Amino acid sequence: MRYDDEGRFLGAEEIVDATTISDHCRWRDDALSCAMPLDDYLRTANRVPDLALGATVGGHRNLSTRGHQRLPGDGQLRHGT
């Protein structure tokens, strides 16, 4: 994806090179393996305790978990289909 200096989205380009795709998938998987649930992060950061999925904070719905579901047992968020 491409953005201008102000952070506005300019467009996207399709990547078809298998090595580039593989590298990015590995980086994504590495980042996800280090991730923690948003509720846990916010609780440890002393921001918003016990923030529930889809909760309303300051009059705004928590959209950071939209399209994800919490799986039983591990508490991790997984991208929904």
> What are the domain boundaries of the chain?
2-79
Single-letter code of the amino acid located at 78: R
Note the Cα 57 to chain centre separation in Å: 18
Residues lower than pLDDT 50 in the chain = 49, 51, 62-71, 80-81
Residue with structure tokens 């039983």?
72
| pLDDT for position 44 | 82
Give the integer Cα–Cα distance in Å for 47 and 62: 14
| pLDDT for position 53 | 52
Q: What percent of the chain has pLDDT over 70?
A: 56
